[in-house]
């Protein structure tokens, strides 16, 4: 665990079993990093240097969210358990929104973005989010998501239309019976089959765009 400071926001790093791997940054939802520690650990076990941040430090009006993400990546790049280079970014809910508006618009530092049920309520026209995409983006969403109206499926469809109109490298996967947090055991909305499929797609995205060395 590294506390917040001039070199970036608070974070927890997870070293890969091999001792060194490419960087994957994970951005938590509104509830904070606690619920996402197991996922960060699973990413590290794949062979990546995983870094878990609080999504509220990235999708925020009180701080420089883009700057916080940039600093976190730069700090990870200096870690002895990280392979220098770009980071892939995985965001959840609020962190998913941050990954779409910031990470997907940082091609010099980010290789790809995976966003689980990303927050979109901060924009009036979600299709415009796609204007920012400069790296491959995968969104994993629940058809029945109505969690505080933060992440409705209609906004994901709008992003999909915007990405298609702009010829962006983008994929939307919708789980027909899933609600918010469908991949989080204990959330009340957990769906094991959907979690497994989403994880498989996440791993495929990483292995395609964040190559293990």
- What is the rounded average pLDDT for all residues in the chain? 95
The predicted structure's pLDDT at residue 108: 98
Is the pTM higher than 0.75? yes
Domain ranges of the chain: 11-209
Under CATH, to which class is 11-209 assigned?
alpha beta
SS3 labels along the chain: CECCECCECCEEEECCCCCCEEEEEEECCCCCHHHHHHHHHHHHHCCCEEEEECHHHCCCCCCCHHHHHHHHHHHHHCCCCEEEEEEEEEEECHHHHHHHHCHHHCCCCEEEEEEECCCCCCCCCHHHHHHHCCCCEEEEEECCCCHHHCCCHHHHHHHHHHHHHCCCCEEEEEECCCCCCCCCCCCCCCCHHHHHHHHHHHHHHHHHHCCCC
- Residue 213 in this model has a pLDDT that exceeds 80: no
pLDDT in tens, 103-159: 999 999 999 999 999 999 999 999 999 999 999 999 999 999 999 999 999 999 999
The predicted structure's pLDDT at residue 4: 64
């Amino acid at each position: 665990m590294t506390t917040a400071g001039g070199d970036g926001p608070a974070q927890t790093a997870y070293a890969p079993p091999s001792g060194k791997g490419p960087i994957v940054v994970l951005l938590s939802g509104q509830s904070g990093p606690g619920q996402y520690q197991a996922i960060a650990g699973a990413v590290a076990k794949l062979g990546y240097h995983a870094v878990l941040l609080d999504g509220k430090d990235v999708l925020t009006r009180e701080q420089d969210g883009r700057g916080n993400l940039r600093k976190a990546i730069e700090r990870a790049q200096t870690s002895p358990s990280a392979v220098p280079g770009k980071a892939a970014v995985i965001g959840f809910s609020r962190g998913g929104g941050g990954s779409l508006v910031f990470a997907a618009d940082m091609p010099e530092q980010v290789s790809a973005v995976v966003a689980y049920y990303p927050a979109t309520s901060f924009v009036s026209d979600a299709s415009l989010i796609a204007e920012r995409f400069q790296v491959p983006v995968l969104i994993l969403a629940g058809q029945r998501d109505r969690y505080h109206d933060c992440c409705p499926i209609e906004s994901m469809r709008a992003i999909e239309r915007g990405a298609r109109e702009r010829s962006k490298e983008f994929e939307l996967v919708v789980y027909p019976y899933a609600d918010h947090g469908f991949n989080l055991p204990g959330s009340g909305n957990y769906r094991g089959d959907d979690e497994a499929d989403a994880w498989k797609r996440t791993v495929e995205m990483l292995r395609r765009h964040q190559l293990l060395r």
